[in-house]
């Protein structure tokens, strides 16, 4: 007797629908049947149906098949990992019928799929030994850096795969150089960037010690990474249409929550999950890049290791990404996700010379209505950010205290405050292209109200915390005490006072 869980493990199947797949893992499989155009299906209760890529062109109505499979008691469908003919309407119909769809690895055949039904377990759980595609990429990069004494990163549309902290400025300098052809001599090169074929990703390598780099070793790394990135893309492609349909229904909010809730759960977005809603608004002249931004948000979800549902609707790309346990809430330090979000924005601006306006909202999921509100809130924050990028908002006035009026008559004393508290921030903004001084000013002008400041600036509250923490490190003064806050406030007032020359 073989359960779905045992079967999936033996064949190393990947699920396109985690929620629906989990619900049948304990069920028993009775047969594995191949669907062809030459013969009708002979199904019994508990069957798994394999549909090869060559069968789709001969099926007149693939969207009608899942309901028929449901009536016969079929448990799941298996399709080829690299099936470019897989109809999106078939996958969407499988979602509605709660028929899980699994991907068969390239190395496996139908005969092996059928043989796995009677194969005896050997006491080893392959899932424990088999890393995910993302982990396999990280392992390949780690192995390469350990062998060569270099640093290596996979630069995707929306993030960077690396086991070490990412210095975005350094990475952009590497990626900005012309791609290095693999047939070119690699020895003594201090930096390399190699385009991965097909998907627009880049392998970036820093070789500060000028180690002799082996062409075959790099070519092998490219091939290994490409195998795993293609597997990731196949899974995304199969889900693209159904994710787009869910995002559309959530944004339009025309369907009753009782109808949407089961659909949401089929994506493994279960009640009690902690979810981030993200919206990315593109500049008006970049409509052709919408899908690129959608892919960038999918990369963000991949690197954050959460369940991710992403799509483009109108001039905006949206994503819903679950949070890991214990990650939800506030902290003084920037979270891994916040860093990844800034990397995404920096990479987009580097590639397109325009800023991407992002908005983030978080919620604890109770039903689809929470996701609707989360996406709307994220879009509002992104729109505000976009407006402020086009036309500078009027600065909130700083109420001038008596102390600032008195100090304005002592320019030498005012200069001391400016040098100690503002110049380090101004220099950082100038070097890094950030706007930390504006964040500090807005925070103090709004009486240090965290939520109001984040809303005014159009950023997430954790991003605000990170910026202010960075300011404290730059100046050596804290914003958590009244004394230091007063000095920052006075310095800003004196800088903006008439005759200050600032």
User: What's the sign of the alpha-carbon dihedral 162, 166, 168, 170?
Assistant: negative
Buried-state track 237-250, b at ≥16 Cβ within 10 A, e below 16: ebbbbbbbbbbbbb
d(CA 367, CA 174): 44
pLDDT at 330 over 50: no
> Tens digit of pLDDT for each residue in 267-293?
878 888 889 999 998 877 777 788 889
pLDDT for res 121: 44
pLDDT, the chain, mean: 82
Pair (20, 162) in one structural domain:
no
Judge whether residue 362 has pLDDT over 70: yes
Q: Is residue 501 part of a domain?
A: no
Residue 310 has pLDDT above 90, yes or no: yes
Is residue 321 domain-shared with residue 336, that is, in the same domain? yes
Contacts of 180 (CB under 8 A, 6+ apart): 186, 189, 192, 193, 194
Cα 233 versus chain centre, distance? 14
Residue 125 scores a pLDDT above 50: no
pLDDT score, position 78: 92
- 152 vs 432 pLDDT, higher one: 152
Residue 29: which CATH number?
3.40.1390.20
Q: What is the pLDDT, as a whole number, of residue 183? A: 64
Place of tokens 């078939």: 90
Instruction: Assess contact for 341 and 303: CB atoms under 8 A.
Output: no
Which domain covers residue 326, as residue numbers? 239-390
Contact predicate 280/316, CB 8 Å: yes
Whether residue 248 contacts residue 313, with contact meaning beta carbons closer than 8 Å, is answered with yes
Q: Which of 116-125, 171-180, 215-224, 325-334 is predicted with the least confidence, judged by mean pLDDT?
A: 325-334
Q: How many CB atoms lie under 10 A from the CB of residue 398? A: 17
Diameter of the chain measured on Cα atoms:
95
Domain assignment of residue 435, yes or no: yes
> How many whole angstroms separate alpha carbon 162 and alpha carbon 140?
10
Cα gap 433→416, rounded to integer Å: 25
What's the total number of domains in the chain?
4
Report if residue 264 sits inside a domain.
yes
CATH of residue 175:
3.30.450
Residue 285: which CATH number? 3.30.70
Which residues have C-beta within 8 Å of that of residue 384, sequence separation ≥ 6?
A: 359, 455, 458
Per-residue pLDDT averaged across 341-347, rounded?
Answer: 87
Burial of 134 (0-12, 13-18, 19+ CB in 10 A): middle
Which candidate, 69, 100, 95, 98, places its Cα nearest to that of 5? 100
Q: Are residues 120 and 146 in the same domain?
A: no
> What is the domain-level CATH number for residue 466?
1.10.10.2840
What contacts 24+ positions apart, CB below 8 Å, involve 323-329?
A: 323/274, 323/275, 323/276, 323/362, 325/274, 327/274, 328/274, 328/362, 328/364
Reported for 321-325, long-range contacts at CB under 8 A and 24+ positions apart, including other chains, are: 321/275, 321/276, 321/278, 322/269, 322/273, 322/274, 322/275, 322/276, 323/274, 323/275, 323/276, 323/362, 325/274
Q: What percent of the chain has pLDDT over 90?
A: 17
Between helix 336-352 and helix 461-475 the angle, nearest 10°, is 90
* Nearest Cα to Cα of residue 341 among 388, 398, 288, 293: 293
Question: Does residue 397 lie in a domain region?
Answer: no
Looking at 323, 355, 390, the residue that finishes a domain is 390
- Taking only the tens place, the pLDDT of each residue in 26-82 is 889 998 999 887 566 778 888 999 998 888 888 888 888 898 888 888 999 998 877
The residue with greater pLDDT, 434 or 316, is 316
Q: Using CB atoms within 10 Å of the CB of residue 272, give its burial: 0 to 12 exposed, 13 to 18 middle, 19+ buried.
A: exposed
**Distance, CA of 21 to CA of 4 (rounded, Å):** 9
Q: Where are the beta strands (DSSP E) in 329-428?
A: 357-364
Q: What percent of the chain has pLDDT over 70?
A: 87
Region of poorest pLDDT, from 332-341, 368-377, 401-410, 416-425: 332-341
Which sign does the torsion angle of CA 250, 358, 337, 170 carry? positive
Residue 161 pLDDT:
92
pLDDT range class, residue 329, cuts 50, 70, 90: very low
Q: Is it the case that residue 5 has pLDDT exceeding 80?
A: yes
What pLDDT score does 49 carry? 92
Model pLDDT, residue 333: 39
pLDDT tens for each residue of 243-264: 888 999 899 888 788 878 888 8
For the stretch 380-436, pLDDT in tens is 888 877 766 554 445 677 777 767 666 776 778 788 888 999 999 999 888 877 889
Output the CA–CA distances (angstroms, integers) from residue 372 to 61, 261, 294, 363, in the order listed: 32, 11, 18, 11
Cα 332 from Cα 338, distance rounded (Å): 12
Residue 24 lies in a domain: yes
């Amino acid at each position: 007797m073989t359960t779905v869980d045992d079967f999936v493990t033996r064949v190393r199947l990947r699920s396109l629908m985690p929620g629906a797949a989990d619900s049948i893992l304990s069920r028993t499989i009775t047969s594995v049947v191949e669907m062809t155009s030459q013969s009708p299906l002979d199904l019994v209760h508990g069957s798994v149906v394999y549909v090869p890529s060559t069968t789709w062109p001969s099926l007149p109505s693939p969207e009608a098949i899942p309901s028929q499979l449901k009536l016969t008691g079929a448990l799941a469908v298996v399709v080829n990992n690299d099936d470019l003919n897989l109809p999106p309407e078939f996958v969407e119909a499988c979602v509605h019928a709660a028929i899980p769809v699994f991907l068969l690895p390239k190395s496996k055949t139908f005969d092996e799929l059928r043989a796995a039904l009677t194969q005896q377990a050997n006491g080893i759980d392959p899932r424990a030994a088999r890393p995910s595609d993302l982990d396999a990429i990280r392992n390949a990069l780690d192995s390469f850096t350990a062998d060569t004494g270099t640093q290596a990163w996979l630069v995707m549309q929306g993030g960077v795969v690396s086991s070490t902290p990412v210095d975005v400025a350094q990475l952009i300098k590497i990626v900005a150089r012309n791609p290095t052809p693999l047939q070119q001599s690699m020895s003594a090169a201090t930096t390399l960037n190699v385009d991965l074929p097909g998907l627009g990703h880049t392998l970036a390598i820093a070789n500060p010690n000028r180690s002799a780099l082996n062409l075959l070793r790099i070519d092998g790394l490219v091939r290994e990474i490409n195998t795993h990135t293609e597997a990731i893309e196949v899974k995304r492609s199969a889900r693209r249409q159904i994710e787009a349909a869910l995002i559309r229904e959530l944004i339009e909010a025309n369907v009753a929550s009782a109808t949407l809730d089961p659909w949401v759960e089929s994506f493994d977005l279960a009640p009690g999950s902690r979810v981030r809603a993200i919206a990315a608004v593109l500049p008006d002249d970049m409509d052709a890049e919408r899908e690129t931004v959608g892919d960038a948000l999918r990369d963000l979800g991949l690197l954050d290791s959460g369940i991710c549902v992403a799509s483009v609707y109108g001039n905006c790309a949206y994503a819903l990404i679950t949070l890991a346990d214990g990650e939800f809430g506030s902290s003084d330090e920037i979270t891994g996700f916040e860093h990844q979000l800034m990397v995404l924005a920096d990479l987009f601006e580097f590639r397109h010379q325009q800023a991407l306006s992002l908005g983030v909202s978080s919620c604890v999921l109770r039903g689809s209505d929470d996701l609707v509100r989360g996406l709307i809130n994220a879009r509002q924050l992104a729109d505000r950010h976009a407006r402020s990028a086009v036309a500078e908002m009027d600065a909130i006035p700083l109420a001038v205290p008596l102390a600032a009026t008195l100090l304005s008559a002592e320019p030498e004393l005012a200069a001391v405050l400016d040098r100690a508290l503002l110049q380090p921030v101004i220099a950082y903004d100038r070097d890094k292209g950030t706007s930390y001084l504006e964040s500090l000013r807005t925070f103090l002008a709004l009486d240090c109200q965290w939520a109001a400041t984040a809303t005014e600036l159009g950023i997430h509250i954790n991003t605000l915390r990170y910026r202010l923490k960075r300011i404290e490190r730059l100046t050596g003064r804290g914003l958590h005490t009244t004394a230091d806050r007063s000095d920052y406030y006075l310095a800003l007032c004196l800088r903006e006072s008439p005759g200050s020359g600032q």
